[in-house]
Amino acid sequence: MKTIPLKIGVLVSGGGSNLQAIIDAVRRHRIKAEISIVISNKADAYALTRAGKYRIPTLYVDPKNYKDREAYTRAITDELKNRGVGLVCLAGFMCILTSYFIKNFPLQAMNIHPALLPAFGGAGMYGHHVHEAVLRSGAKYSGCTVHFVDEGCDTGPIILQQMVPVKDGDTVDTLAKRILSVEHRLYPLAIKYFAAGKLQVVGKRVCLLK
């Protein structure tokens, strides 16, 4: 009997290096799934070009065409649903979607955050702000977190985390670069576990089944 592969939708806003890591893992059959759609809120996101190179369908959904965040969320959610997407991966997506999205993809949407949650997360903690806050704090370690998306901001159940050292003399750029290369390993791994049905969520804890 042939099984229908998991369909992934990826939401992006920028360079898409995490998208690239996911594409590579799918192409190498490390993840048993297919990427059905890449959606961006920015017309010029390089992530769209990356997807286009592999003939992955792309969609630019302009927030300006919608009266509010709720209408915008509904448009994106409906696009994903209509394509039969079973997992949504937020990969540098700089828009906050409303609970309509979460209700349609309960424990079926993931995000990657460039720090060790629950530290250095929440409102305003994105991009360089995260690394600035880590450097200011004097923390010896940062890292990245893949988590399920819930109604809060960076509060969903944590799937995988990896520590990355903060080195003397680090700048936002050197730290961000060190963390990003770890993200590229961690995000595909979390998706691989999801696609293989190996993630079990018990309250806030995500257990990895053998």
Residues that bind ligand GRF (CB under 6 A): 14-18, 91-92, 112-114, 180, 183
Is 113 designated active site? yes
SS3 104: helix
Compute the distance between CA of residue 5 and CA of residue 10 in angstroms, rounded to an integer.
16
- Given the complex with ligand GRF, which of 16 and 188 has the nearer CB atom? 16
- Which class for 102: exposed (0-12), middle (13-18), buried (19 or more C-beta within 10 A)? buried
Q: Are strands 87-91 and 58-60 parallel, antiparallel or unpaired?
A: unpaired
Q: For the CA atoms of 85, 111, 97, 13, what is the dihedral angle to 10 degrees?
A: -90
The nearest distance, CB 169 to ligand GRF, in angstroms, is: 21
Over the Cα atoms of the chain, what is R_g?
17
The nearest distance, CB 202 to ligand GRF, in angstroms, is: 26
SS3 11: strand
187, two tokens? 């995000």
The nearest distance, CB 111 to ligand GRF, in angstroms, is: 7
The nearest distance, CB 145 to ligand GRF, in angstroms, is: 9
| DSSP letter string, 167-208 | PTT--HHHHHHHHHHHHHHHHHHHHHHHHTT-EEEETTEEEE
- Given the complex with ligand GRF, which of 42 and 72 has the nearer CB atom? 42
List the catalytic residue out of 113, 128, 147, 184. 113
Catalytic site residues?
113
